[in-house]
Amino acid sequence: MATKAAVSISVAASITAASSSSSKFVINTPHRFLCLKRLSSFSSFSASALAIKCTSISNCSPNKSARSMEGFTTRTRASAQPLENANELIASVETFIFDCDGVIWKGDKLIDGVPETLDMLRSKGKRLVFVTNNSTKSRKQYGKKFETLGLNVNEEEIFASSFAAAAYLKSINFPKDKKVYVIGEDGILKELELAGFQYLGGPVCKHFNLHEDGGKKIELKPGFLMEHDKDVGAVVVGFDRYFNYYKVQYGTLCIRENPGCLFIATNRDAVTHLTDAQEWAGGGSMVGAICGSTQREPLVVGKPSTFMMDYLANKFGILKSQICMVGDRLDTDILFGQNGGCKTLLVLSGVTSLSMLQSPSNSIQPDFYTNKISDFLSIKAATL
């Protein structure tokens, strides 16, 4: 099992010439001063932007043993309890944040009982928010997927890591004259475009006459030198079914050779649900390749980073103690909720099995667990 660790350092962000505030920034030790230098190259940052946390779930760090786990939840927790009084949990919070893959659907198949469960929670006056680490779609595209599956979900209730990447760049006042190189799919491109950022890469690359980066190959002839755009100020890496060596090299050159270039990951999920038949290699595999070639740790904007939690709490004016995070992954969903100070409910309809939850090697314990979210429906029957 890969070591999950990070080292927390304080970063003082100069907001104006007369005032400053500090935030906690989590990053791998060998690169902390490098990243401080790179961060300082941008002229304006907000304190909330620097509150983002970077985590490693892979072996790409050169000094794992020297790292400690500060900033993220590490205290010993009591073992998770089976959800026996769901009515009490529902009454104790005003907002439910749901992961999507493995909780609402698997691949393109809706999990049984989801529509009725969501309708019941709305009837009780609960706010519902849907947060996914999958960056292949934009919020608008996810809205269409919910509609296709027969679910009535507003676009404003959906937060994908593709949106989080664009929101993060806006929060740090990323220079509009800089470009973003994307290793990822259409969702990231659409969110960057909506936010007004210049981009290249992705499945379709505007910079190279609309040719697809996914179809490009490198001919390694003697003396060949690969050129890259010196105006790229950030490389965003997400799940990419068109991942290839061209993208690895291009992203590596931007990160290593462009002064101040940021390395941003939408997520580091090891696996994902492309179909309901099996698990597939996730976005963490693409991030790991760039991590290995650059020897840099990324800024992670998706779960379990608290960036999206802080964004949601501010947008809706929600107290985090009044939120319940519902997910199927321990190291992303549940840790996301715990880091944000929320109640947590693990469902066993996705990645995590009961044996994994109860394994002595698992240190992440949710408040409650249940088989699937439709278990909430028993409350409706009991209160009729």
Active-site residues: which are they?
Answer: 94
Euclidean distance between CA atoms 232 and 254, whole angstroms: 6
Closest CA to 132 of 104, 169, 95, 156: 104
- CB 348, CB 342: distance < 8 Å: no
How many other C-beta atoms are found inside a 10 Å radius of the C-beta of residue 319? 12
Provide the token pair at 107.
């691949």
Provide the token pair at 97.
């944040």
* Amino acid of residue 348: L
Largest CA distance in the chain: 77
Euclidean distance between CA atoms 270 and 329, whole angstroms: 11
Helix (H/G/I), strand (E/B), else coil: 304? coil
DSSP state string for 162-202: HHHHHHHHHHTT--TTSEEEEES-HHHHHHHHHTT-EEEES
Provide the token pair at 26.
């989590």
Closest CA to 203 of 180, 186, 181, 179: 186
- CB 296, CB 67: distance < 8 Å: no
- CB 130, CB 158: distance < 8 Å: yes
Please report, in angstroms and rounded to a whole number, the separation of the first and last CA atoms in the chain. Answer: 47
* Amino acid of residue 312: L
* Amino acid of residue 52: I
Provide the token pair at 269.
């999920």
Euclidean distance between CA atoms 286 and 265, whole angstroms: 9
Q: What is the distance of C-alpha 225 from the center of its chain?
A: 34
Q: What is the distance of C-alpha 313 from the center of its chain?
A: 16
179-183 vs 232-237, strand pairing mode: parallel
Euclidean distance between CA atoms 290 and 183, whole angstroms: 10
